[in-house]
Structure 1
């Protein structure tokens, strides 16, 4: 089954769509390679998960590459949210085939798909890929469609969490233009890199900044408010004590990882926002394709 990408005839815009897709795929690979990553799947171990590991994620990544390009092309062509939703459904189907029915990237398909389409719209308008411009474009072009077309699925984990705890989850984050990505994730990544951290360490700092802040519905589903409070407190202590800019940070991050695994906590929502932050940061540094 091939991704149904809209035709993009102008060479400049076709090139832009390809650049966007490559940046999105690189962000997903980088998210997987980030470690230690408390409770989450890495190249080293499956974290708190029993149904997936790095091989599952890599199979999904290979399958989704055409869908990232399709989302970017749809943005270039000015496609509405409903068109993106159809592309997202096709991407989810491909993911499930590739992983044997395991949901590895549903949140990333949604978030990166919207951001890739926003980047395509900016390219078509001749505007640079700044973080504020991406956020504004998502809100202006897709927010109404998100609220109209995506009511919470009655039996989903997200619907249950929203009903019990009032957490909005991925839908609310996207409709608002990814505020945690723009105000927490990307600034944490930039600041850590500016202080001399390597890319992997800066990604860990970014993730823990998100865990400390985001009302992660994955954590709420698995651990309830107590689990969320525990995860946030652990992340905040790590950051307060210097984060990745203090000697021995990997040992401390590994200890948090092991504590999350023991409690069955997996901050998957924060991981999706890490991937989005890595993607936005890559595009922001590029500015715009040549």
Structure 2
């Protein structure tokens, strides 16, 4: 596991720790292998312009943004319009920094949105000395996402927005405003079930990704391959899980077939990958808080 340099410090703040967890979630997601047609340790998947090194550089570039979002939560102390607009501005600044590092390639725009929201919600939870529960964090994140940012600049439609306009499919914004149901009802449930069956952590995380791919109307896939591509992804992911997931020979064979099908149509489940990174952040935040000594819970200053 590649840990951020901040963890080498003797003392670090709550904001620094949360930012490090966020970066680590992105690093863990991209290094998870084998993901079907997504960037991993084997290569760029369905992407000609992405690779592991670029994705990792992008992830590390976002540390200051994540830290500033957690600090904004501490300053405001509650969900309100000012907090929403502060983290919106920080997100746009973080995106510009990301694009500088990647020379204009969009590596983590979706993750900036989803992880930024749950990180901010986690920071609010910790500063209020409340239990750090995934369900409650997602609920708070939804409250933030439902507030409209009055300062969003006019810009060209994103791929997700174009897909929503053309096909009526909701994207990342609506997932957040609904409290991330794909994460809670499918990704998290599958992650916990796989762990209970004593699979490896890699297999558990891959199964969680597949569970979300099977249910998510992934706008990244629809943009690249239309509704037929979406149906191919969803049915293929569902079949892998029905065959026992990544821990069985049959499941592994079906996963390889799914990848070849997605590569053939150049479809990449980027939306599901963003949600997996978000799930990994939430999972680690909850685990850390529940395992911390009683006197240090909800403090995270060591």
By the TM > 0.5 criterion, same fold? yes
| Secondary structure of 1:18 counterpart | helix
Look up the match of 1:3: none
Cα distance in 1, alignment partners of residues 161 and 155 from structure 2: 6
Q: Deviations over 1:230-278 (max 9, x none)?
A: 1111001101111123235444323322221111110100000010111
Q: Is the 8 A contact 1:76 1:123 kept in 2?
A: no
Q: Structure with the greater relative contact order (CA < 8 A, sep ≥ 6): 1 or 2?
A: 1
Q: Deviations over 1:1-54 (max 9, x none)?
A: xxxxxxxxxxx9x73222211211111111011111111111211000011111
Cα distance in 1, alignment partners of residues 208 and 154 from structure 2: 28
Look up the match of 1:171: 173
1:159 aligns with 2:180: no
Q: Is the 8 A contact 1:153 1:159 kept in 2?
A: no
Alignment of 1:20-169 (within 5 A): 20-78=18-76, 80-145=83-148, 155-169=157-171
Q: Deviations over 1:190-238 (max 9, x none)?
A: 1111211122111110110011000100011011111100111100110
Cα distance in 1, alignment partners of residues 133 and 204 from structure 2: 20
Mind listing any 5+ residue stretches in structure 2 that lack a counterpart?
1-10, 77-81, 290-296
How far residue 164 of structure 1 moved from its aligned partner, in angstroms, is 1.4
How far residue 59 of structure 1 moved from its aligned partner, in angstroms, is 1.4
Among candidates 14, 17, 35, match of residue 16 of structure 1: 14
How far residue 289 of structure 1 moved from its aligned partner, in angstroms, is 3.9
The 1:200–1:272 alpha-carbon spacing in structure 2 relative to 1, beyond 3 Å, is: same
Cα distance in 1, alignment partners of residues 242 and 278 from structure 2: 24
How far residue 153 of structure 1 moved from its aligned partner, in angstroms, is 5.5
Q: Is the 8 A contact 1:136 1:177 kept in 2?
A: yes
The 1:249–1:152 alpha-carbon spacing in structure 2 relative to 1, beyond 3 Å, is: farther
TM-score by length of 1: 0.89
The 1:73–1:196 alpha-carbon spacing in structure 2 relative to 1, beyond 3 Å, is: same
Among candidates 241, 244, 250, match of residue 243 of structure 2: 241
| Secondary structure of 2:146 counterpart | helix
Cα distance in 2, alignment partners of residues 18 and 58 from structure 1: 18
